[in-house]
Amino acid sequence: MTAPITKNDRTTVYIEDLTHDGNGVAKIDGYPLFIQGALPGETVEIHVLKTLKNYGFAKVVEILEPSSDRVEAPCVYFSQCGGCQVQHLSYEGQLKWKQNMVANVMKRLGKIDAPVLPVKGMDNPWNYRNKAQIPFAQNEAGEAIAGFYKTKSHNIVDMERCLIQTGEADAIMGQLKDELATLGIRTYNEKSHQGMLRHVVVRKGRATNEVMVVLVTKSRKFPQAQAAVEKIRELVPNVTSIVQNVNGDKTNVIFGNETVTLWGKDAIEDTIGNVRFEISARSFYQVNPEQTEVLYKQALDYAQLTGTETVIDAYCGIGSISLFLAQQAKLVMGVEIVPQAIEDAKRNAELNGFTNTYFEAGPAEEVIPRWYAEGKEADVLVVDPPRKGCDEALLNTIIEQKPKRVVYVSCNPGTLARDLRILEDGGYKTQEVQPVDMFPHTTHCEAVAWLELG
């Protein structure tokens, strides 16, 4: 394809859609242009920044006809920070776009004709994240900064507050950095590999109000630990756990392998629905527990359990969906490749008094066929894979073992559509797809699909 425009051209275009990065999409003679800040339905004048063989990039010069869903982004860091992509789109507009996006992906990529229902959103789509991973660094003057990364970079936008995080995280991000010099704590410089404090992770139990603060340091030796504990307790009165994690590697990975408790409990607790969870510094736990309850209840509804069924939960993680299912199933068997997650799942089952669960570590595509060979067959199979979707071998296992119902919980509509197509070709029929907005003001959308064996 030859680009019909060149760099520095100015022209007027109509915005047809959004990308997964939140950029507007316009086409000139079939040639796509990605335009930051533009919304679907708008007519804008643009300045072309770059043209490649198959697509180009442009910026908005003037919005000639704005979308009726355009709003002023309430966050002062919106144009810099990469955390939210669509704060300039009204929340109602976000939900409409996400439903259309999921529906279009189902039809275009998966050739799936099942109904895609309206997105289940939040009454209050702010301050929903119960986990903040805040990088601490130095500016050019050597002063402490903290915030989140600028779009498509590793440069920190120095921030005082974030509208989708908790107030406790804001207190750490906005106030602790100002106290570090007094405390004698130097923040980390990733270029020189000097300094002590790399990240601060703040976790909160929505139902319990318990807060954990994790100080990620370059070395185990931390002379200012007690002073840091006292300051954090002052800034976050409801803190119940302060721990240190040690990461001495030159890496972008946040956590190291060693974690020690500096003050308070080793873990905090939270509940989703009627299920309790213990959350340690490195435990996986959904960051929006309010919508997680909506998501899991949807999976439970689609499972249609009567108390007589055996359910297999592939990619079970710490057992969060498994325990929801166990409330209404005869037996739930969870498999997960990460051994530590399986230990967490067993502990969470014990915490809740469930005796009808069984968890095993290993690849689902190997463990599940063995279970079937041992006579442990499932009436319902639930999958909640990572963004890359299900392993092909697992999909083949499902098709071969033929559980009568499959519930697919997805964090990526593209891989969901791909996998549904494979399952439909293998004899299943998608009944409906229910999107759930787990991450308001971003382009991410979760969905739950219900399939029956044909």
Q: Quick one: tokens of 88?
A: 């300039």
- Burial class of residue 392, CB neighbours in 10 A (0-12, 13-18, 19+): exposed
435 contacts 116 by C-beta, under 8 angstroms: yes
Determine the Cα–Cα distance for residues 216 and 244; give it in Å rounded to an integer.
6
Q: Quick one: tokens of 215?
A: 């100080």
Determine the Cα–Cα distance for residues 338 and 364; give it in Å rounded to an integer.
11
- Between strands 380-383 and 357-361, the pairing is unpaired
Q: Quick one: tokens of 185?
A: 């704590």
310 contacts 331 by C-beta, under 8 angstroms: yes
Q: Quick one: tokens of 324?
A: 């929801």
Determine the Cα–Cα distance for residues 376 and 262; give it in Å rounded to an integer.
45
213 contacts 273 by C-beta, under 8 angstroms: no
Exposed e or buried b per residue across 95-106, where buried means at least 16 C-beta atoms within 10 angstroms of its C-beta: bbbbbebbbebb
| Residue type (1 letter), 3 | A
CA distances from 396 to 313, 386, 392, 402 (A): 16, 18, 6, 10
Nearest to 259 by CA among 277, 270, 268, 247: 247
Residues with catalytic roles? 411
The continuous run of DSSP H or E covering 11 comes out as strand 10-14
